Structure 1
Amino acid sequence: MSGTGLEKPAGNYRYRILALLFAATTINYMDRSIMGVLGPTLMEKFHWSNADYGYINMAFKAAYAIGMVSMGGVIDRFGTKIGYTLSIAIWSIFGMLHAAVRPAFALVGFIGARFGLGIGEAGNFPAAVKTVAEWFPKKDRAFATGIFNAGSNVGAVLAPAIIPLVVASNGDNWQFAFLVTGAFSAIWVTLWLRTYKKPEEHPKVSKEELEYILQDNETKDVEKEAEKLSWSRVLPLRQTWAFAIGKITDAVWFFFMFWSGIFFKQKFGLDSIKELGGALVVIYLVADFGSIGGGYLSKFFINRGWNLNAARKVSLLICALCIAPVAFAALTSNVWIAVSLIALASGGHQAWSANLFTLVSDVMPKKAVASVVGIGGMVGAIAGMLVDFALGTGLDSSGNSFYFWMFLVAGLLYLVILGIIHLMLPKLKPLNEDLQLSE
């Protein structure tokens, strides 16, 4: 253990901030998950092909890639308070604009709305990871990241649970599904603007809690911490690209989120929103446990004396092994076996994600965190676009047999990526404020 060694600091205001991160991530994933639930219904209603559906998802990820780089830079330059507010405002407006799309221009309209949604939603994780780096010591960051990242699964669970209540079984009133989160977003922005300040500036943070938060702070030099980094300084670093390569696995998560409903309908004949919703709820509930458990796993190892390098990488290995069996999901004829395999893999991915995000704050100074997360998110979004294109065209030309190859790649990818990360960063040595290895 580093720093002061405080175990039970007086005050826990940092968990109020964490609760707001959880809420924002929940809203974020409710907005983006609606398409995954309504996808089969909208494909029928607007007569989209698999390729058309792929193009719609590609628009979201193209914007997400652009937004990850631009929003990460905005958040590092203007801070999490302003950056997060801007992000959620953009994604909420474009999320509700889906409801304005009319059949005559449905494909173009959805592509435009998804593009705007992707720009805004890209700011969530750079802002949240940077906030965790500001409010939690290193030993607690994976757990804190797992907590707020669990909001992604809560949001993904709420979407299929709520949509059948507002959308008819034949798809009528589908517009209502895209309007649900607008009020939630407005409430969150109000709370965020009233609540958030850095811990050093917050009147409700006790001296003891502040010491605990800053126990392994990289620097006491306020001038250097406030310095703004250009992307040209961050891009050449192998630490940046180790994380970015790890984020290629986002393509698998996007596959589960946006294509699972299509897979269950095309392979197993699940037609109704209610049936699809039930399968998706199971998947995301397991993913929720994975997110929290994965974050706790590193903390568990560290508390037992493991060094940071071993704790993070063994946790990532356990996650990768949980994901591997999804390679068989397309081979089973039982829908609930397929659901179980995808659910286990989803839990493994979210646990992986909690630890992968934390690698950034392990090795980078706080001022660079959001930009590095943004670069990694851009790489993950581009990988997701390639998957959308391959699936859309592959399913139209080859039929359901194409799913086999996607699930096979999904099952093996994490082990390969972990090997690459280890080769690039054999030891997780932190960089100082000058982006040099600390002594």
Structure 2
Amino acid sequence: MVPSPTARTTSAHAPGAGIGDKIRGTLATGKTRWGMLALVFFATTLNFIDRAALGVMQPILAKEMSWTAMDYANINFWFQVGYAIGFVLQGRLIDRVGVKRVFFCAVLLWSLATGAHGLATSAVGFMICRFILGITEAANYPACVKTTRLWFPASERAVASGIFNAGTNVGAMFTPMMLPLVLHVWGWQAAFLCMAALGGIWLIFWGLKYYNPEEHPTVTKAELDYIQQEKEPEQTTVSFGTILKMRGTWAFALSYAMTAPVFWFYLYWLPPFLNQQYNLGISVTQMGIPLIIIYITADFGSVGGGILSSVLIKRGMAAVKARLVSMLLCAISIIGVVMAAGSSELWVAVGAIALALGAHQAWTANVWSMVMDYTPKHMMGTVFGFGGMCAAIGGMFMTQFVGYVLTVTNNNYTLLFTMIPAMYFIALVWMYFMAPRKIPQV
């Protein structure tokens, strides 16, 4: 008897199937979900072009408006304040109203806020613009994670998370390539207007192309069955207080709050660090090439970290255990970043930072996937939004701490780079003991 297409697909995902069979079986289920992933990947890219631009333009803006290191720290601090508020509000809205409408409105508003930077004439003006940008850009990750949770099964979530999160590095890498030309031809005000226009283009594609799995006009039954293969608790309205009582909420929130601010440190302070330590400018050949190398490595880490835990799951390891093993390897890889601050050689520092940032992105893909593994999909936006709020608060303190340390030590980065690895090991121990091993029936 010839097996049916459904039977062939199921057998291709069985633990004993070969890698080729698994790949063919995965492709046979359809590809609509990868199109949805592409949309959130490009949103994340735009999100980080907007954020990274300030760090790259910092030398010009500081000279133009006589910013001190503390002024720059305060500008970033107010972004984090808005980000913290926006995370918890928009995560809840995404669960209640739906990812399509909330994310559309958020990107529209953050594009307008980005363009408004071109009108600012002082540090205070930038603080106001960054605060509004923070509130609106906070929708990005809850929306991306919710989309991934809706469209991907556990065996593909880490890869999907790694791919959309690679947009952070693409955005941070593209920014030093794009900005020097725009700055030279039109000036810094036009740079913010160009970034706002990119957001408008993305909005057209999101409005026309995004649907939830059950509503998508072209998704096949085979792909829908593949996506929804896990047993889910019945969707009910759950109060915010109930979600705060869940062990998994705090497992994710505190571990994410410990490690997410490290990326903010790289994003905001890496260009000033390289410029100060090695007398680089903001041209593509001087500042651009080191940043491009660092963020390309981060892209490989983001996707590679997701592949690692996905391979472990397909070999029979439980999802949460696979994430923890992958995160341990990431934490070990980050230790070498302590070499960066004390090195007199630019490329030694670039290599150490590139490895650490790549491992950070691999870590992030797995910690996001872990919270998806044990969180019911109808609570995903709220749980992630709360964790993101905690991370943004951590980023607020990190920004002020960095500004204070650099002020009192005359811009010495040694203490900051030395602290980074410890944060991951503390967060890993917390996740090991606190993370649930399955979806609770809530």
Q: TM-score, normalised by structure 1?
A: 0.92
Corresponding residue number in structure 2 for 1:365: 376
Of 126, 141, 159 in structure 2, the residue corresponding to residue 143 of structure 1 is 159
1:107 has 2:86 as partner: no
CA distance in 2, matches of 1:410, 1:44: 30
Of 92, 115, 119 in structure 1, the residue corresponding to residue 111 of structure 2 is 92
Does the 8 Å CA contact 1:294/1:351 hold for their aligned counterparts? yes
1:255 has 2:265 as partner: yes
CA distance in 1, matches of 2:287, 2:359: 22
- State the secondary structure of the residue aligned to 2:309: helix
1:6-405 equivalence runs, <5 A: 7-8=25-26, 9-102=28-121, 106-168=122-184, 173-219=187-233, 224-225=234-235, 227-247=236-256, 248-274=258-284, 275-401=286-412, 403-405=413-415
CA distance in 1, matches of 2:240, 2:62: 40
Matched AA of 2:42: A
CA distance in 2, matches of 1:194, 1:253: 32
How far did residue 4 of structure 1 move? Answer: 5.3
Matched AA of 2:119: A
Does the 8 Å CA contact 2:319/2:370 hold for their aligned counterparts? no
How far did residue 368 of structure 1 move? Answer: 0.9
Give the direction of change, closer, same or farther, for the CA distance of 1:339–1:256 in structure 2 (3 Å limit): same
CA distance in 2, matches of 1:168, 1:257: 23
How far did residue 20 of structure 1 move? Answer: 0.5
String of CA shifts for 1:241-290, please: whole Å, max 9, x gaps: 11111212111100000001111122222233432222211111111111
Does the 8 Å CA contact 1:37/1:277 hold for their aligned counterparts? no
Matched AA of 2:136: G
Matched AA of 2:135: I
How far did residue 41 of structure 1 move? Answer: 2.2
Matched AA of 1:204: T
Give the direction of change, closer, same or farther, for the CA distance of 1:209–1:272 in structure 2 (3 Å limit): closer
Give the stretch that moved more between structures: 207-216 or 275-284: 275-284
Matched AA of 1:382: I
Give the direction of change, closer, same or farther, for the CA distance of 1:93–1:229 in structure 2 (3 Å limit): farther
String of CA shifts for 1:97-135, please: whole Å, max 9, x gaps: 111112xxx111100111111111100010110111111
Matched AA of 2:329: I
Alignment gaps of 5+ in structure 2 = 1-8, 14-24
Does the 8 Å CA contact 1:4/1:215 hold for their aligned counterparts? no
CA distance in 2, matches of 1:255, 1:340: 17
Matched AA of 1:124: N
Does the 8 Å CA contact 1:364/1:431 hold for their aligned counterparts? yes
Size of the alignment, in residue pairs?
Answer: 419
Does the 8 Å CA contact 1:87/1:123 hold for their aligned counterparts? yes
CA distance in 2, matches of 1:37, 1:63: 21
CA distance in 2, matches of 1:358, 1:174: 38
Alignment gaps of 5+ in structure 1 = 435-439
Matched AA of 1:135: W
How far did residue 229 of structure 1 move? Answer: 2.8
Give the stretch that moved more between structures: 338-347 or 392-401: 392-401
Does the 8 Å CA contact 1:326/1:342 hold for their aligned counterparts? yes
CA distance in 2, matches of 1:352, 1:193: 31
Does the 8 Å CA contact 2:56/2:282 hold for their aligned counterparts? no
CA distance in 1, matches of 2:322, 2:55: 34
Give the stretch that moved more between structures: 344-353 or 275-284: 275-284
Give the direction of change, closer, same or farther, for the CA distance of 1:89–1:228 in structure 2 (3 Å limit): farther
- State the secondary structure of the residue aligned to 1:218: coil
Identity %: 42
Does the 8 Å CA contact 1:76/1:228 hold for their aligned counterparts? no
Does the 8 Å CA contact 2:309/2:366 hold for their aligned counterparts? yes
Q: TM-score, normalised by structure 2?
A: 0.91
Does the 8 Å CA contact 1:59/1:115 hold for their aligned counterparts? yes
Matched AA of 1:97: A
Give the direction of change, closer, same or farther, for the CA distance of 1:273–1:109 in structure 2 (3 Å limit): farther
String of CA shifts for 1:391-415, please: whole Å, max 9, x gaps: 21221222133x1111111122111
Does the 8 Å CA contact 1:157/1:284 hold for their aligned counterparts? yes
CA distance in 1, matches of 2:370, 2:410: 39
Does the 8 Å CA contact 2:41/2:166 hold for their aligned counterparts? yes
- State the secondary structure of the residue aligned to 1:228: coil
Matched AA of 2:421: G
Give the direction of change, closer, same or farther, for the CA distance of 1:190–1:217 in structure 2 (3 Å limit): farther
Matched AA of 1:384: G
Does the 8 Å CA contact 2:95/2:381 hold for their aligned counterparts? yes
- State the secondary structure of the residue aligned to 2:410: helix
Of 410, 416, 424 in structure 1, the residue corresponding to residue 426 of structure 2 is 416
String of CA shifts for 1:17-42, please: whole Å, max 9, x gaps: 11111111111111111011111221
Matched AA of 1:167: L
Does the 8 Å CA contact 1:293/1:351 hold for their aligned counterparts? yes
